Amino acid sequence: MSDSCAENAAKGTENELTEEVEATKLLETSADPATQEVEGVEEYLKRKNMVLLDYEKQMFLDLVEADGLLVCAKGLSYDRVVISILKAYSDSGNLVVVINSSDWEEQYYKSKIEPKYLHEVASTATERERVYLEGGLQFISTRILVVDLLKQRVPIELISGIIVLRAHTIIESCQEAFALRLFRQKNKTGFVKAFSSSPEAFTIGYSHVERTMRNLFVKHLYIWPRFHESVRAVLQPWKIQSIEMHVPISQNITSIQSHILEIMNFLVQEIKRINRTVDMEAVTVENCVTKTFHKILQAQLDCIWHQLNSQTKLIVADLKILRSLMISTMYHDAVSAYAFMKRYRSTEYALSNSGWTLLDAAEQIFKLSRQRVFNGQQEFEPEPCPKWQTLTDLLTKEIPGDMRRSRRSEQQPKVLILCQDARTCHQLKQYLTQGGPRFLLQQALQHEVPVGKLSDNYAKESQTRVAPPKNVSSNKELRREEVSGSQPPSAGMDELAQLLSESETEGQHFEESYMLTMTQSVEVGPATIDIKPDPDVSIFETIPELEQFDVTAALASVPHQPYICLQTFKTEREGSMALEHMLEQLQPHYIVMYNMNVTAIRQLEVFEARRRLPPADRMKVYFLIHARTVEEQAYLTSLRREKAAFEFIIDTKSKMVIPKYQDGKTDEAFLLLKNYDDEPTDENAKSRQAGGQAPQAPKETPKVIVDMREFRSDLPCLIHKRGLEVLPLTITIGDYILTPEICVERKSISDLIGSLNSGRLYNQCVQMQRHYAKPILLIEFDQNKPFHLQGKFMLSQQTSMANADIVQKLQLLTLHFPKLRLIWSPSPYATAQLFEELKLGKPEPDPQTAAALGSDEPTAGEQLHFNSGIYDFLLRLPGVHTRNIHGLLRKGGSLRQLLLRSQKELEELLQSQESAKLLYDILHVAHLPEKDEVAGSTALLAASKQFGAGSHNRFRMAAAASRRGRR
């Protein structure tokens, strides 16, 4: 359980604190004069209809008093604090911008704010300028905000403040940090308030907390862990009634788990033995079974992936596969787990893995997985999931009996079952509506497991239950329609990301919520419960109102029958707020935690603290746990990690040195940025100018024209941080214009490969060379990846032939475009520094000229005075190159005149005897065909004989007639 839930289970049933004691404590605290301000705030919150818990009020007070970064534990949601701050600034005289919010967060906050203070982001720039001046609250994408700030469409001085969500993702080069820097440079009075609920993210990297606060321009750090005294004081009096139910697992599952852990331990030792010089501290068996293992491993090995040998890469892939096998054994049904296990007993996989399938433990895993489905006589008799029977007993015996004992018989019993994912949710729904035997047989048919002969015990239960009910089939059709609209996974991932991807396409057709009721009435009054466990007659059925996600209508449709809701911890549409939304709508009496989740448990605690009900009316929470298994270990590991993360942040805060100017409200915070206007001149320069009497023109800030599409990358942010002025513009040629002569086309490695294969890069280079004297192709690597082109890593598992093909295309590119310069940059930071050095002493680019180049309509400022088609044609002729083509275009006249010139005249035009000879020969001398051309001519003659000898004569006659017509 969570920190408090674990204590509850250990202590058992303790005496609850009464409401009178709590009221006495509140009276004692209110007697303190220091709380007078708090009372005023409470009156304000009451007037604004904002109900906050005590620790949420303290969060609100802290952030209203001073800007800062708030880090809270998972489940102790800061959403109500954000809503309170938004309501406090909801006024047409204020302009508050909310950035870095997810789609479901944006929809949730908008639903809680009065519509008159909300303004939708307009599509046009003129409309956005008008909307900004109207004030209110703006939820806007950071890329649009950055461009509007650079183009001064936003009245920066009038912005009241910026609220940053998911602050742990703010790094120095991201768009959010760029927007905050632009805001703080011109607005010294507005507020910046940042929120995060991921303490573990702040432990990754060097000084992550300090760097995040520096990027946010805040000086205060507010830490709210679950073990905070204020949080415990709020949640302890209203603690939930928790009941742990330790569900034993079968001997087969225990043995499979032990063997998988044994193989994992062997592979971990092997990977450390092979790579003695690499830091493999995070690669442990304990981390291998956690959900975030692939993220830990990817962060550890990304930079050195190309240096690892093939055996290490196979072991990394096999560790991920073994974790999937562990999850399948623990959470999926026996038939699905066996079908999943069979994939890795094929000859193809045996030849491509690290060798774990040859171990004795692997043989035992395959053998035991089959024993879970077939009995000793090889008859189909799958064992049910261990938690199924316990769940059925809860729904049919324990909960009705508890309602009878607590005198809730007149109320409609409402049960909420929480699962970890949509697949488990679907599994329970099928089990409750169809029965276990029929569901397992259906799974066998679906996964193409050869059923063969049914056992005698199983045949009676499943022979009459093959066809699914109508309500189930309609739900399946609905799910299939949803799948058709889902997007396929992106194909641009590198090898390690693909290797460690956790997405399972099989789970996409499962829904995240189901609503069920009972078809057989369960007496909860004085009469005894008598339900015969008939597997052919299910006592549960679905409620069709779920298709519209209308809980109120679903409850009204079954007013006196038990109501059961299956829900995942978080949904794709509402995120982690889905559970809180369901609790408020459903107001359940009983919660069944089918799987363990820290965030969900704390959400239940907070929900109960808000209701403030007496102990008898509080909801009961049943925890179904496999004790001393991987499930329990993964839960305890997540708790330990969060606690260690908070201890690290608290320790960092105690040692952290924060300069006074970090909030950006003085110009000292931006002194590290180069200010070209204030550069001091040395004394020697003054002496050469008659003691400095000659007036000096102020140095202009260097400008870089950036294409609007490039604001998806980190480079514009880093260019601005180096003191260069960024001019956003829609340009058709190049991505960055540094000077009137230098144009840069930036390509990442994946984009470079795609552009070379499609031919798009060739056309881009043609345009750059035509309009700019110094075109540059910038090949930029990811700063988190190795600066390395060769190898399978960068080419996404392509063969060496494809690698050689890319290099050959790059060589052809340099041969076709002699003026093109290739620059290899290891990271965006190096690129920003390079741009600054390339601009030293160079004139500034003109935005109007850059925008006009490449457009269909030529403008007065366009430098190209020749027909581009003729220019490209002449450039392909032998003897004509970029150094002499301009003289040839100016003095050569037309192509007819060029044909009439002698070789000596061509020599004068091209300023080269060799070039003149090459050009004269190609225009006047008849060339003999090559061997392959001769073979092609022979084939053409044979074809002409086949189609008739007169065909060529007809063409010749038509050509002669056209010549006579022209004369």
Q: How confident is the model at residue 219 (pLDDT cuts 50, 70, 90)?
A: very high
Under the banding of pLDDT at 50, 70 and 90, the label for residue 428 is very high
pLDDT of 585-607, one tens digit each? Answer: 889 999 999 999 999 999 999 99
pLDDT at 788: 64
Q: In what order do the strands lie in the sheet with 821-825?
A: 725-729, 703-707, 736-737, 742-748, 774-780, 821-825
| Average pLDDT, integer, range 737-749 | 92
pLDDT value of residue 359: 92
The order of strands in the sheet holding 68-72 is: 136-139, 95-99, 161-164, 191-196, 68-72, 220-224
Q: Do residues 435 and 465 make contact, with C-beta atoms less than 8 angstroms apart?
A: yes
- Residue 853 is predicted with a pLDDT of 82
Strand order in the sheet with 620-625: 241-246, 620-625, 590-593, 414-419, 563-568, 513-518, 540-542
The whole-number average pLDDT for the span 320-336 is: 91
**Confidence check: pLDDT of 919 > 90:** no
Condensed to tens digits (0 to 9), the pLDDT of residues 349-401 reads 888 888 899 999 999 999 999 999 998 888 889 999 999 999 999 998 898 88
Per-residue confidence (pLDDT) for residue 631, from 0 to 100: 86
Q: CA 104 to CA 739: how far, in whole Å?
A: 43
Q: Over range 497-519, report the average pLDDT.
A: 59
pLDDT beyond 80 at 418: yes
Cα gap 472→493, rounded to integer Å: 37
Query: Among all chains, which residue has been given the structure tokens 């396409």?
Result: 505
For residue 560, what pLDDT is reported? 60
Asked if residue 19 has pLDDT above 50, the reply is no
Q: What pLDDT score does 409 carry?
A: 62
Mean predicted confidence (pLDDT) in 624-639: 88
Write phi, then psi, for 725 (nearest 5 degrees). Answer: -85, 130
How far from 21 is each of 24, 28, 249, 612, 639, CA to CA, in Å?
A: 5, 11, 44, 14, 31
Query: For residue 244, what pLDDT is reported?
Result: 92
Q: Answer whether residue 466 shows pLDDT above 70.
A: no
- What does pTM read for this prediction? 0.77
| Span 400-416, pLDDT tens digits | 888 888 776 667 788 99
| The pLDDT value given to residue 792 | 40
Kindly state the helix (H) or strand (E) to which residue 729 belongs, with its residue range: strand 725-729
> According to the model, what pLDDT value does residue 521 have?
45
Confidence label for 478 from pLDDT (cuts 50, 70 and 90): very low
* pLDDT value of residue 858: 47
pLDDT for 655-697, tens place per residue? 999 988 888 888 776 765 555 544 444 444 444 454 555 455 5
Least-confidence region, from 236-240, 245-249, 518-522, 739-743: 518-522
Cite the beta strand spans of 55-141 per DSSP E: 68-72, 95-99, 136-139
* pLDDT for 36 beyond 60: no
Higher pLDDT, 92 or 68: 68
**pLDDT tops 50 at residue 927:** yes
In this predicted structure, what is the pLDDT of residue 553?
61
- Cα–Cα distance measured from residue 782 to residue 746, given in angstroms and rounded to the nearest whole number: 13
* Alpha-carbon span 85 to 97, nearest angstrom: 12
Average pLDDT over residues 165-190: 92
DSSP H/E element including 440: helix 436-446
Tokens of 410: 């007149």
Residue with tokens 């049933």: 13
Lowest mean pLDDT among 233-247, 505-519, 774-788: 505-519
Mean pLDDT of 221-248: 94
Handedness of CA 352, 356, 360, 364 (dihedral sign): negative
**Least confident stretch, 551-560, 679-688, 813-822:** 679-688
Q: Would you place residue 177 in the very low, low, confident or very high pLDDT band (cuts 50, 70, 90)?
A: very high
Query: CB-based burial of residue 445 (10 Å sphere; 0-12 exposed, 13-18 middle, 19+ buried)?
Result: exposed
Instruction: Band the pLDDT of 337: cuts 50, 70, 90.
Output: very high
Phi, psi (5° rounding) for residue 564? -125, 125
Query: Taking CA 471 as the corner, what is the angle to CA 467 and CA 475, rounded to the nearest 5 degrees?
Result: 105
As a whole number of Å, the end-to-end CA separation of the chain is 98
525 confidence band (pLDDT: 50, 70, 90)? very low
State residue 875's pLDDT score. 79
> Which has the minimum average pLDDT: 490-504, 724-738, 792-806, 916-930?
490-504
Query: Angle, to 10 degrees, between the axis of helix 36-47 and the axis of helix 54-65?
Result: 100
pLDDT (tens digit per residue) in 201-216: 998 878 899 999 999 9
State percent of the chain over pLDDT 70.
74
Report CA-CA distances (Å) from 345 to 325, 359, 499, 937.
12, 12, 19, 58
Crossing angle between the packed helical segments 630-655 and 208-216, to the nearest 10 degrees: 60
| pLDDT exceeds cutoff 80 at 93 | yes
| Strand runs labelled E in 11-135 | 68-72, 95-99
